[in-house]
Chains A and B, each alone.
Chain A
């Protein structure tokens, strides 16, 4: 592991000050980076993928920025709240089951105890060509070096939102729940606080896959805000994977529904395991809006969601797996037996 200087921040302003250094790099390559639960960055530092010169420890901010608040306006989750604490929170499980389920289906119990929400949404891809510095070609790790996954072993790679430069899958689960529920991200950066739509936080890879989010170097996620709505209670997260637990998604769906009889009044859909970033499926929602939710309608929505899918050989199975995952999630959320 590359040597680094360890700094402790006792409040958010200090964290931003300590992490703001002159750099032309995006946050993932910036000289100073944040440490919360450490479950992602410590792994990537040990692999030689992440090489910060300074780590700014945020764990002193937990009392102020780790709270879980449920109110009539919605849910407010401090960015330093631990995944396990949010997953186990009774009001989150009752009113926002898609959030509790997405967190509960992530990683293992130890990692959920350690990992903070802010770091979770920023976790790096599991693409093996990105993780292993022995591979030269990885545009995400070394801009302009190529993409080894494109003609390589790409069974787990993305079919939505990819570019000619990167097909790495976004690995998280919680991000899909946030994308589906129109969440907001609150940040504090060198230029002050701001609010970002969660759906806009992650950038499409395009020709700069090393720039993963719209965050600036030194900008810290402080909270997630999820607006209340009648659809949040009828919501769920369905995750399909190679083994039943402690595994990343091959395909997943976060869905939230408001029904009147069997007619869809509101619907929110996000897909995971199949896309380069948390993937809101607006096209699928448009198919369902105002229609009775039937197995046929769910299938039509799934067709719309995967219409733009592009596959690369070993991941040819993913669009159909993704469609079936979404159909099952919609029918389960509506209590319809297929």
Chain B
């Protein structure tokens, strides 16, 4: 990743009360905002940018509900400070095509009934897309291992595994 679309645009202040001006690129759109250094990327997406698709489960990196892509890699938005983000962010809202055509993984989750309450689903889908891109979704055992950072308390796991297996070849063709 060359260049840094998301940068601190002024020297950080030495007073912890001061807000830090940042530039954040989310789903291809660049936002300029000032944030408390303590603000997580997750809370910033929710509270400042109105992107509520990314979910807060545990806020401690233990559930995966807040999974987003940073520079194309899956990461946890709850353990990321917004001021420290240097790469473009993709959230679940940025996954569908221009006319709202669902991503193959979103469609697969519907087709395979891979959710019940749906709270973990945005994180599952973001994680699943990355899992396929990484090449870690070639077998069912691999899918289970490399999706272990995303918990589903409704235990839709067998259907999630099927959804990923369905989407994998379609993502390759895309």
Is the CB–CB distance between B37 and A109 below 8 Å?
no
Is there a chain B Cβ closer than 8 Å to A13's Cβ?
no
Bound-state CA distance A7–B130 (Å) is 30
Residue among A3, A35, A111, A245 making CB contact with B17, cutoff 8 Å: A3
Most buried by A among B60, B61, B149: B61
42-57 of chain A: CB within 8 A of chain B = 42-43, 46-47, 53, 55, 57
Chain A residue numbers with a CB within 8 Å of B78 are 42
Number of residues from B at the complex interface, CB < 8 A: 40
Number of residues from A at the complex interface, CB < 8 A: 31
Is there a chain A Cβ closer than 8 Å to B86's Cβ?
yes
Bound-state CA distance A1–B36 (Å) is 11
Is the CB–CB distance between A114 and B79 below 8 Å?
yes
7-37 of chain B: CB within 8 A of chain A = 8, 12-17, 20, 36-37
Chain A residue numbers with a CB within 8 Å of B80 are 38, 42, 114
Is the CB–CB distance between B12 and A109 below 8 Å?
no
Residue among A46, A59, A114 making CB contact with B60, cutoff 8 Å: A46
Q: Output the least CB separation between B46 and chain A (Å).
A: 16
Bound-state CA distance A5–B61 (Å) is 23
Chain B residue numbers with a CB within 8 Å of A47 are 60
Chain A residue numbers with a CB within 8 Å of B36 are 3
Is the CB–CB distance between A245 and B144 below 8 Å?
yes
Is the CB–CB distance between A59 and B84 below 8 Å?
yes
Name the segment of B69-77, B90-98, B106-114 touching the other chain: B69-77
Is there a chain B Cβ closer than 8 Å to A4's Cβ?
yes
Closest Cβ neighbor of B13 among chain A residues: A5
Q: Given A3-B37, A4-B16, A8-B8: A245 and B75 within 8 A (CB)?
A: no
Is there a chain B Cβ closer than 8 Å to A6's Cβ?
yes
Bound-state CA distance A57–B149 (Å) is 25
Is the CB–CB distance between A108 and B148 below 8 Å?
yes
A contacts with B: majority SS: mixed
Most buried by A among B37, B79, B134: B79
Residue among B16, B20, B127 making CB contact with A109, cutoff 8 Å: B127
Closest Cβ neighbor of B8 among chain A residues: A8
Is the CB–CB distance between B84 and A57 below 8 Å?
yes
Q: What 1/0 flags go to B34-78 for Cβ under 8 Å of A?
A: 001110100000000000000000011100100100000111101
Q: Given A6-B20, A43-B60, A59-B84: A110 and B76 within 8 A (CB)?
A: yes
Is the CB–CB distance between A5 and B64 below 8 Å?
no
Q: What 1/0 flags go to B136-158 for Cβ under 8 Å of A?
A: 10000000111111100000000
Bound-state CA distance A113–B126 (Å) is 14
Is there a chain A Cβ closer than 8 Å to B131's Cβ?
yes
Is the CB–CB distance between A6 and B148 below 8 Å?
no
Chain B residue numbers with a CB within 8 Å of A286 are none
Q: Given A3-B17, A39-B79: A109 and B61 within 8 A (CB)?
A: no
Is the CB–CB distance between A6 and B83 below 8 Å?
yes
Is there a chain A Cβ closer than 8 Å to B119's Cβ?
no
Is the CB–CB distance between A5 and B148 below 8 Å?
no
Given A5-B13, A110-B67, A245-B148, 7 new contacts (CB under 8 A): A3-B16, A4-B38, A47-B60, A88-B134, A108-B64, A109-B74, A109-B134
Closest 6 CB pairs of A and B: A108-B149, A245-B148, A3-B16, A246-B148, A6-B37, A42-B79
| Interface of B toward A, CB cutoff 8 Å | 8, 12-17, 20, 36-38, 40, 59-61, 64, 67, 73-76, 78-81, 83-84, 86, 127, 130-131, 134, 136, 144-150
| Interface of A toward B, CB cutoff 8 Å | 1, 3-8, 35, 38-39, 42-43, 46-47, 53, 55, 57, 59-60, 84, 88, 107-111, 113-114, 244-246
Give 16 CB contacts A-B under 8 Å: A3-B17, A3-B36, A5-B12, A8-B8, A42-B61, A42-B78, A46-B60, A55-B81, A57-B83, A59-B84, A88-B134, A109-B136, A109-B148, A109-B149, A110-B127, A110-B149
